[in-house]
């Protein structure tokens, strides 16, 4: 019960998920694994994404994680079936674009789904969207390089977004962020298209809480949990400090 929850992404994107899970479950310990060495996943083949995701899971299991959050839409959409087969005893929570929320809660008539090229191409996403009612109101917008611009804090992000989003002004009533990096540029997106912006992080946090309860794995500690940051590009742990983490979280607000 007192082992940590593991969370991974290709870089800083999953921090947007970590924050929500930590807010809901403050007494849990976390290990955040940023696979910066293999970033960006969204421009890779399925085989490469599966291999990268597998190496993240191995690192987290080596550190006794009791549950693993795949805090990356690209890895979830392209690798979760393989991961579940390779690690049948591991509890996984996957991250998918919150298109159902756009339809059921926001009652969208025309919704823009922004995601990495590998997510948009994935069979799982296309299959999922085709099974939902009103799937024709979802418009797919692949955003090549965007996660990388965010990851590297590039100054060009605002002009990149302007070019990408201008054709959609006045044509959509909400935007779904189908990549965990994108919440860091919500402010920039809103300055171009001012519609409700949806990301799935609340749903992920609730799913983690549910699975921990169901498997009797909730932490028994009554003090604040700790977060440990690991990065595949560097040897050793704790590369990203807590201060850096909070700095990232405040970006884009």
What positions carry a catalytic annotation?
72, 179
Helix (H) or strand (E) holding 55: helix 46-62
Contact between 119 and ligand DGL per CB under 6 A: yes
Contact between 16 and ligand DGL per CB under 6 A: no
CB 136 within 8 A of CB 80: no
Contact between 199 and ligand DGL per CB under 6 A: no
CB 141 within 8 A of CB 112: yes
What CA–CA distance (Å, rounded) separates 119 from 12?
18
CB 132 within 8 A of CB 111: no
Span from 69-77, 127-135, 227-235, 236-244 in contact with ligand DGL (CB under 6 A): 69-77
Span from 60-68, 70-78, 81-89, 222-230 in contact with ligand DGL (CB under 6 A): 70-78
List the one residue from 4, 7, 8, 9 that touches ligand DGL (CB under 6 A): 9
The residues near 79 (Cβ < 8 Å, ≥ 6 apart) are 46, 49, 50, 53, 54, 70
Contact between 72 and ligand DGL per CB under 6 A: yes
CB 15 within 8 A of CB 246: no
Restricted to residues 126-165, the positions that interact with ligand DGL (CB under 6 A) are 147
Question: CB of residue 148 vs ligand DGL: minimum separation in angstroms?
Answer: 7
Strands (E), the chain: 5-9, 30-34, 67-70, 92-94, 111-115, 138-142, 174-177, 197-198, 227-231
Contact between 122 and ligand DGL per CB under 6 A: no
Q: What phi and psi, each to the nearest 5 degrees, are found at residue 176?
A: -105, 130
Total binding residues for ligand DGL by CB under 6 A? 16
Restricted to residues 175-194, the positions that interact with ligand DGL (CB under 6 A) are 179-181
Question: CB of residue 177 vs ligand DGL: minimum separation in angstroms?
Answer: 9
Question: CB of residue 74 vs ligand DGL: minimum separation in angstroms?
Answer: 3
Contact between 22 and ligand DGL per CB under 6 A: no
Strands of the 111-115 sheet, one edge to the other: 138-142, 111-115, 174-177, 197-198
Helix (H) or strand (E) holding 32: strand 30-34
C-beta of 4 vs 40, nearer to ligand DGL = 40
Binding site for ligand DGL (CB under 6 A): 9-10, 13, 39-42, 72-74, 116, 119, 147, 179-181
């Amino acid at each position: 019960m007192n082992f940590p929850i593991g969370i991974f992404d290709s870089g800083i994107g999953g921090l947007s998920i970590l924050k929500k899970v930590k807010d809901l479950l403050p007494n849990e310990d976390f290990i955040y694994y940023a696979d910066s060495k293999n970033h960006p996943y969204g421009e890779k083949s399925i085989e490469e994404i599966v291999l990268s995701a597998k190496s993240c899971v191995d690192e987290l299991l080596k550190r006794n994680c009791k549950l693993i959050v795949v805090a990356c839409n690209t890895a979830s959409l392209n690798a979760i079936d393989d991961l579940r087969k390779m690690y049948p005893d591991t509890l996984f929570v996957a991250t998918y674009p919150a298109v159902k929320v756009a339809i059921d809660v926001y009652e969208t008539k025309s919704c823009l789904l922004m995601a990495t090229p590998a997510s948009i191409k994935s069979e799982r996403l296309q299959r999922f969207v085709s099974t939902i009612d009103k799937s024709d109101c979802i418009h797919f917008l692949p955003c090549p390089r965007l996660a990388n611009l965010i990851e590297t804090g590039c100054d060009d992000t605002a002009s990149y977004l302007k070019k990408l989003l201008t054709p959609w002004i006045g044509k959509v009533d909400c935007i779904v962020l189908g990549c965990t990096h994108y919440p860091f540029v919500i402010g920039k997106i809103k300055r171009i298209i001012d519609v409700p912006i949806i990301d799935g992080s609340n749903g992920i946090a609730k799913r983690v809480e549910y699975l921990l309860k169901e498997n009797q794995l909730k932490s028994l500690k009554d003090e604040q949990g700790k977060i440990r940051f690991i990065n595949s590009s560097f040897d050793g742990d704790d590369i990203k400090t807590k201060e850096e983490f909070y700095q990232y979280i405040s970006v884009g607000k």
